[in-house]
Amino acid sequence: MSGTLVLVRHGQSDWNLKNLFTGWKNPELTELGVQEANTGGKALADYGIKFDIAFTSDLKRAQDTLKIILENVGQTGLETIKDQALNERDYGDLSGLNKDDARAKWGEEQVHIWRRSYDVPPPGGESLRDTGARVWPYYLTEILPRVLRGETVLVAAHGNSLRSLVMVLDKLTKEQILGVNLATGVPMVYKLNADSTVASKEVLGDMSGAH
């Protein structure tokens, strides 16, 4: 058995609530988002986990979620590495737009393709494959080696940057990953084998809130 990798999607943000495409924009967590981060942190505290290092994105909602989780597990001074490689998918021209307005402008079908296809990016933005193309090398060079050394690593990031990781860890096809939604603030605990494959996966909390 090697180390442990914990992935957490940030709590609900103000723009999630307003149904806006967020991407690399920087809205705050909502009250519910703070509550979700606290719930995830408490679940990790109850699980009895202690972290050696944390990684997060360059965006405030992920960093704030991480901060709340670390307060709950009593590790506020934990070494934390922030990198835009873990940022949410860049929605390009859609960023800041209401999803209903985007459908009115480009049509329901086109917006659905941008949101849900694996490799069709919105104008000026990234597809899920593009997001993975920056997340995977960062994971392989910065995060995975620590887990394989037996460390317990926390990653607080975003729906799409984490989906691209889950796709690899859970060995999902590009068709299968399209149906996967990660619940906000719900920790996923992966224990890895020495060859970097997954020995076990536990989801700490209720996945029914996935959206």
Q: Kindly state the greatest CA–CA separation across the chain.
A: 51
How confident is residue 99, by pLDDT bands cut at 50, 70 and 90? very high
Active-site residue flag, 211: no
pLDDT of residue 60: 97
Q: Is residue 124 part of a domain?
A: no
Residue 2 annotated as part of some ligand binding site: no
What whole-number percentage of the chain has pLDDT above 90?
92
Residue 160 annotated as part of some ligand binding site: yes
pLDDT of 206 strictly over 80: no
pLDDT, mean of residues 47-52: 96
pLDDT of residue 209: 43
* Structural domains counted in the chain: 1
Q: Is residue 85 part of a domain?
A: yes
Per the residue annotation, which of 28, 36, 71, 88 is the catalytic one?
88
Q: Is residue 199 part of a domain?
A: yes
> Which sign does the torsion angle of CA 165, 171, 175, 178 carry?
negative
pLDDT of 207 strictly over 90: no
CATH of the domain at 50: 3.40.50.1240
Active-site residue flag, 88: yes
- Cα 128 to its chain centre, rounded Å, is 12
Q: Is residue 47 part of a domain?
A: yes
Per the residue annotation, which of 10, 36, 126, 158 is the catalytic one?
10
Residue 163 annotated as part of some ligand binding site: no
C-alpha span between 138 and 64 (Å, rounded): 21
User: Could you tell me the residue range of the domain that residue 204 belongs to?
Assistant: 4-92+129-209
